[in-house]
Amino acid sequence: MARVVLVCAMLVTISPKYAGAADRIWRMGVLTLADENAVRAVILPYLAARGFVEGRNLLVDVRVGAEGQMPELARALVSDKADVIIASSDWALHAARAATTTIPIVASPIGTDPVHAGVAESWAHPGGNVTGVCLIAPELEVKRLSLLREALPSVRRIAVLSNHRKVVEAGILPLRKAAAEAGLELVEIWIESPNEYAAAFDAMRGAGVEALVIVPTPELYRDSEQLGELAARSGLPTVGGFREGAHKGLLIGYGPNLRELSQQVAGYVERIFNGAEAGELPFQGPTRIDFAINMRTAKALGLTIPPSLLVGADEVIE
């Protein structure tokens, strides 16, 4: 478990437009399974440009831990009287929601429908103290399978790698259906920790799989480079959940634009600091989907990518 706390001791003058931001020190809690990269790269600069400046009038408390640590870390943020909690993942969101019904919580993002997950009354009017961003994950997983099949029309046995089975498995059902309709066999590999990566790829080779879909849970996305290296050594063309995965060695990266999602979250934090009620802010989904193909990986695997697939990519990495 890691904890990062940055405390400001002094306020300085800012423009009249944001004068209200200087009336107090704001406390922003962050609860995450993986890392704080999006907070540092996108959310804090966004807030700073609008008068909420770390080191002046903003205290940032980042709590990073495993799934089982989420409840304890959420309670600690509540005890420290955060003004808002950014919950990065379904597991962080449910832990934060169990810890408080009053502190605003912004999902950043979650992979399940917030209404089906029981955290919102509706997308337009969540109610309660929760709002945020949803990845609409099941539809994206089916599309990733489709792209992999278009790149490799001869494959018949495809592995799916994921963790957090209790939550993620329900989102795999549309993928199972799509695979069955396409005459594909899915080999599901469920893991609990990074220590199981090597054994997971051994299992894939033993099962004779020909390609791989990696479900973009926080930890698997964080470890995309390591997983890409294992996939390359195993000779497995692999699709991951975000464009950045292709930059880290996967054959295909397809998913929501991460910067856009973080900006949506930052916008909600700003509005909450300015007095908005979380339950009145609608849940948002991604509006921009990125698609990248790594041709270096394709060449290393001896693959010829169909021109029709290349034309549709936002980025081709040579």
Q: Which residues pair with 214 in a beta bridge?
A: 161
Q: How far apart are CA 126 and CA 132, in angstroms?
A: 9
> Does the domain at residues 137-256+290-317 carry the CATH identifier 3.40.50.2300?
yes
pLDDT in tens, 147-204: 999 999 999 999 999 999 998 998 899 999 999 999 999 999 999 999 999 999 999 9
pTM, 2 dp: 0.88
In the chain, ranges of CATH 3.40.50.2300 domains = 2-134+257-287, 137-256+290-317
Return the SS3 of 105. strand
In the chain, the DSSP E strands lie at 2-6, 26-32, 58-64, 84-88, 105-110, 130-134, 157-162, 185-190, 211-214, 238-240, 252-256, 289-294, 315-317
Q: How far apart are CA 146 and CA 28, in angstroms?
A: 40
pLDDT in tens, 280-308: 999 999 999 999 999 999 999 999 999 99
pLDDT in tens, 192-246: 999 999 999 999 999 999 999 999 999 999 999 999 999 999 999 999 999 999 9
Return the SS3 of 99. helix
Q: How far apart are CA 6 and CA 59, in angstroms?
A: 6
**HEC string of 154-198?**
CCCEEEEEECCHHHHHHHHHHHHHHHHHCCCEEEEEECCCHHHHH
Provide mean pLDDT across the span 45-52.
98
Looking at the domain that runs over 2-134+257-287, which CATH code has it been given? 3.40.50.2300
